[in-house]
Amino acid sequence: MIRVLGGPKRLCDGLTRRDLLQVGSAGLLGASLGARGGAVASPGSSGLPGFGRAKSCILLFLYGSHSQIETFDPKPDAPSQIRGEFGCIPSSVPGMDVCEGLPNLARVMDKVTVVRSVSHPFPVHGVAYATTGNPVVPLAMELSPRDPAHWPYIGSVVDYMDGLRAAGGDRPVVPRNLQLPFAFSSQRIGEVARAGPYGGFLGQAYDPVCTEFVGRGTTKAKKTLAALAWDDYELYRGITPESRFQINGVSGPTGGLTIDQLDRRRSLLRQIEDARRVASPGAPGSDRHREAAYRMLQSAEFRRAFDLDQETSDTRAMYGMTLFGQATLTARRLVEAGGRFVSVFWDEYGLAGTGWDTHWDHFPRMKDELLPGLDRTLSGLLLDLDRRGTLDETLVVLLSEHGRTPQIGSVQGGGRDHWSRCYSVLMAGGGVARGQVVGKSDKIGGDVVDRRVSPKDVLATMYHLLGIDPTTMIQDRLGRPLPLVGEGEVIPEVLA
């Protein structure tokens, strides 16, 4: 995830430009696959429908994990210590009730499939487990983003596989693997960095290309974590209309580059590459990122994708004037410009232990921030894609690393802790069936009673819809063939 050009001078991994120019090693910038033997796909795609229906994917990841009970699997008949403070409301699909905090989503549930039976045995913040094919990700690896044993993020695999299939090594102007609103786990203090959306054994050249947020918040919030306290603007509660996202200083037509500026930035990239070659002669290095940076800097089409002024005020409001909302709107513009896989993370901000990690103040945060933000943004995206005629070719997935405990904790504001035995995932568009529910939980939303699904099955289904056979074998750093999603299988009930 190179962020050398424009904006803050620090890279996603905490390196400064000076650090990078002085060290310049292939290890910092990541190796391309080089002599690795590529991937081997089995013939066909299992004969299931929908293979390759999705031209692109927008993955919305709720870091910290949403409660299944306060979203897509409410339990109105459960005891109050399970049910909590929210009721449920009917949706546009008979029998598919949702939390009363999601009134806009209730009206568009006929466009989605909800999987209410996702389950796995690791109730930790396992972004790497949820988004890669690695069958087991120990906690130590989840806290070590560059552990060499990590498998690649799903967006990185899509980028790699598409590159193998591209005629003559063609590389699009819009990167195939983009991430908004900023580098994952980079905008909060407390604890250590988290693993997840990285190139893994494919190398750092296949990390997502990250945007930067340039703007201001409109609503303050107070947060605490042990001895740490934070009182500042919470971007997920509101941002100014002038706020934008950018990559390498590319933020729309008003942020256009002069020839001199472009030449200076090319010069910086050459310095990085020259330093790398001195440090590691003959090693594959940052050529891929350098070439991508050149294309992005020169592409008017790519710059326009970041220009939110081209959207009407009604459309922007439909997504919500929040960090998550405007990042998701930008994601829609990026896939329309040719982006293949765009991830939007609702991440921790300002302080660790936030986002959707509601161990305390669960109900106030759900009421004031989390549910309204999710409700407006996800419903806005689905409605917008549908009215533009692109929902059927754009896969939308709402994912998290686990769910929340059915039992409410006796803490300030109530709390739900980590729970991976049963939770919900939402999928729409791009070959996904409309108005369906897959699986069933028990009467308190604690365990699966019908059609247990693994996160690896969700990933396999995403690959299938994106036209990548999930049984494909891909080689790791040692040349060992590994399946893209381990034992994950496509979920037939999700397919249209």
pTM for this model (two decimals)? 0.87
The string of pLDDT tens digits covering residues 109-154 is 999 999 999 999 999 999 999 999 999 999 999 999 999 999 999 9
Domains detected in the chain: 38-164+176-194+323-494 (3.40.720.10)
For residue 3, give both structure tokens. 């962020």
- Distance between CA atoms of residues 9 and 262, nearest Å: 17
Residue 43's pLDDT band, with cuts at 50, 70 and 90, is: very low
pLDDT score at 289 = 63
- Distance between CA atoms of residues 89 and 102, nearest Å: 8
- Distance between CA atoms of residues 27 and 34, nearest Å: 14
Q: Provide the residue count of the chain.
A: 496
Interhelix angle for 154-165 vs 455-465, to 10°?
A: 30
CA dist 235 to 95, 187, 320, 323, 324, Å? 35, 11, 12, 5, 8
The string of pLDDT tens digits covering residues 77-103 is 999 999 999 999 999 999 999 999 999
- Distance between CA atoms of residues 460 and 486, nearest Å: 9
- Distance between CA atoms of residues 240 and 173, nearest Å: 29
For residue 320, give both structure tokens. 């919500």
Structure letter (DSSP) for residue 492: G
- Distance between CA atoms of residues 321 and 237, nearest Å: 8
- Exposed e or buried b for every residue in 36-73, given b needs 16+ CB within 10 A? beebebeeebeebebbebbbbbbbbbbbbbbbbbbbbb
- Distance between CA atoms of residues 20 and 94, nearest Å: 57
Cβ atoms within 10 A of the Cβ of 167, count? 5
- The per-type count for the chain, helices as H runs and strands as E runs, is 15, 23
pLDDT surpasses 90 at 347? yes
CB 484 within 8 A of CB 468: yes
| Backbone phi and psi for residue 154, each to the nearest 5 degrees, phi listed first | -60, -40
Q: Maximum Cα–Cα distance for the chain, whole Å?
A: 68
Residue in the structure block whose two tokens are 């290890």: 27
pLDDT score at 297 = 65
- Distance between CA atoms of residues 181 and 347, nearest Å: 9
pLDDT score at 46 = 72
Cβ atoms within 10 A of the Cβ of 280, count? 17
How much is the mean pLDDT over the chain?
A: 86
Mean pLDDT for 269-295 is 54
| Backbone phi and psi for residue 171, each to the nearest 5 degrees, phi listed first | -120, 125
CB 99 within 8 A of CB 370: no
187: left (phi over 0), alpha (psi -120 to 50) or beta: alpha
For residue 48, give both structure tokens. 């299931």
Structure letter (DSSP) for residue 388: T
